């Protein structure tokens, strides 16, 4: 205001979002919140492109400039695996907003789940009643057939595993994933299946097998690199 | 402060300083500076993009400078009074306070609470009376207002607008003008985010 000493304006650069093309913003969905739990934060940093990595190092860590220069030289000469540097970045960031211990644990979890493809320590369980699922699906299949949609997709067959004697379901995976809320739409599921990104009990689901997969109590479903769900049959006696 | 420290502070992760020589001179006086940072409590979440600026504030604090966090509670409660913008809803005082609390909890994960003074914009604007409003409007002309984009491309034409809508649109540049000395650019511009650094008057 009038009569005050002049003020200086200090401007910092905008950080690009995880997509690497637009500024990080909540409305664009390409952001990493500083309140996110360590595992998510670590995994999301690991998902950024190699090209974006040095920007993040510069703007979000205290790693000295000389060291960053060395990283750039090594990357240009391809004498270092970019993944190793990105893990360092993810550790630095998680340490800052959580702790060094949390960063180590998040890294171990990342190595186990993403790099070795194993199931994470804690898998979210989805409890569904197989009985209700089957009962509910049948009229849907009929109505979809009447409305001219692809009825095949909604057919659920209830059966019994001859070896264990437990009830199981034979389902179309796009329908099933959509039903349990693991994907936004059936077409998203189909796209992921075509990319080879969906596994049921450790077997990759293909476009050919997708309409006819077996789900039983304890089935492990994996979508993409980090989304795991364990299916639990909520019916008491099967 | 060493050359290395100065360069880290003013070069690394900095888009622009206006005026850099003046800021260097201020830093060289050794006096504690005040850095003013504002935020709009219609949102609550801080992401890594915001953290770039907050980390800078923290670096200044580690050199003994003070941060003033300005909570834009008054403007958040007014929202967009024309009701056209969905991104600027009108919030109740309780909502604004809850948002601000959530924002500050995250803000102080990066910025040192001990070296921060929190001020509420309403402490200042809440006392604005009709006399002050008239003195403020005397700084602007009708032509200046009509030249603004809001009116230039607006339908209906300005002359047919209901008076409350007209004054609401006029109040925006006035609030911005008023806020100039104390309010940093809470909304990021295209290329960078900014805040003001003033010298400590004490």
A78 vs B124: CA distance, rounded Å: 57
A180 vs A189: CA distance, rounded Å: 12
Torsion A146-A151-A154-A160 (CA) sign: positive
Is the complex ipTM more than 0.90? no
Residues of chain B with C-beta less than 8 angstroms from the C-beta of A24: 47-49
Q: Across all residues in chain B, what is the average pLDDT?
A: 77
What pLDDT sits at residue B183? 37
Question: Which chain B residue's Cα is nearest to A3?
Answer: B181
Sheet strands (E) in chain B: 16-18, 33-39, 66-71, 116-120, 192-199
A155 vs A134: CA distance, rounded Å: 9
A26 vs A28: CA distance, rounded Å: 5
Model confidence pLDDT, tens digit, residues B152-191: 666 667 777 777 777 777 777 776 666 554 433 333 333 3
A226 vs A85: CA distance, rounded Å: 20
Query: Scanning the structure block, which residue is given the tokens 């004054």?
Result: B167
Q: CB-CB: which of A5, A13, A25 is closest to B52? A: A13
Q: CB-CB: which of A6, A24, A65 is closest to B49? A: A24
**Cross-chain Cβ contact B193/A14 below 8 Å:** yes
**Cross-chain Cβ contact B48/A32 below 8 Å:** yes
Model confidence pLDDT, tens digit, residues B63-88: 999 999 988 887 777 765 555 555 55
The segments of chain A whose pLDDT lies below 70 read: 1-5, 140-142, 144-145, 148-152, 236-238
Task: Name which of B75, A6, B15, A48 is nearest A57 in CA terms.
Answer: A48
pTM: 0.66
**Helices (H) then strands (E): counts for chain B:** 10, 5
For residue B167, count CB atoms less than 10 angstroms from its CB and return exposed for 0-12, middle for 13-18, buried for 19 or more.
Answer: middle
B:155-194 residues touching chain A, CB 8 A cutoff: 180-181, 188-194
Mutate to test the interface with B, among A6, A7, A62 (most CBs of B within 10 A): A7
For residue B35, count CB atoms less than 10 angstroms from its CB and return exposed for 0-12, middle for 13-18, buried for 19 or more.
Answer: buried
């Amino acid at each position: 205001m009038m009569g005050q000493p002049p003020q200086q304006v200090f401007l910092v650069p905008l950080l690009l979002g995880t997509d690497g093309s637009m500024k990080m913003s909540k409305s664009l969905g390409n952001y990493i919140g500083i309140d996110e739990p360590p595992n998510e934060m670590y995994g999301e940093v690991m998902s950024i492109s190699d090209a974006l990595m040095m920007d993040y190092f510069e703007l979000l860590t205290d790693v000295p400039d000389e060291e960053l220069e060395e990283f750039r030289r090594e990357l240009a000469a391809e004498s270092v695996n970019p993944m190793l540097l990105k893990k360092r970045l993810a550790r630095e960031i998680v340490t800052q907003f959580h702790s060094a211990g949390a960063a180590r644990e998040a890294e171990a979890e990342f190595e186990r789940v993403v790099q070795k493809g194993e199931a994470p320590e804690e898998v979210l369980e989805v409890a569904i009643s197989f009985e209700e699922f089957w009962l509910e699906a049948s009229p849907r299949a009929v109505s979809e057939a009447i409305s001219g949609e692809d009825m095949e997709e909604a057919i659920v067959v209830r059966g019994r595993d001859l070896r264990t004697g437990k009830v199981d379901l034979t389902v179309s995976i796009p329908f099933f994933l959509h039903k349990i809320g693991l994907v936004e739409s059936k077409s998203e599921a189909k796209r992921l299946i075509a990319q080879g990104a969906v596994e049921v009990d450790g077997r990759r689901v293909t476009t050919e097998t997708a309409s006819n997969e077996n789900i039983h109590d304890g089935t492990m479903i994996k979508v993409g690199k980090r989304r795991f769900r364990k299916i639990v049959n909520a019916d008491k006696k099967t | 402060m060493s050359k290395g420290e100065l360069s880290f502070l003013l070069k690394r992760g900095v888009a622009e300083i206006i005026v850099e020589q003046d800021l260097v001179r201020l830093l060289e006086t050794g006096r504690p500076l005040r850095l003013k940072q504002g935020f709009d409590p219609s949102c609550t979440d801080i992401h890594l993009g915001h953290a770039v600026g907050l980390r800078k504030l923290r670096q200044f604090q580690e050199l003994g400078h003070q941060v003033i966090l300005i909570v834009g509670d008054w403007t958040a409660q007014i929202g967009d009074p024309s009701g056209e913008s969905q991104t600027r809803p009108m919030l109740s005082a309780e909502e604004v306070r809850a948002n601000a609390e959530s924002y500050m909890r995250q803000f102080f994960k990066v910025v040192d609470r001990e070296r921060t003074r929190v001020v509420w914009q309403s402490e200042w604007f809440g006392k604005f009376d009709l006399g002050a409003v008239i003195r403020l409007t005397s700084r602007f002309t009708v032509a200046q207002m009509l030249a603004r984009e809001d009116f230039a491309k607006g339908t209906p034409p300005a002359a047919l607008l209901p008076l409350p809508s007209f004054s609401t649109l006029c109040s925006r540049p006035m609030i911005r003008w008023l806020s100039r000395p104390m309010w940093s650019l809470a909304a990021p511009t295209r290329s960078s985010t900014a805040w003001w650094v003033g010298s400590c008057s004490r």
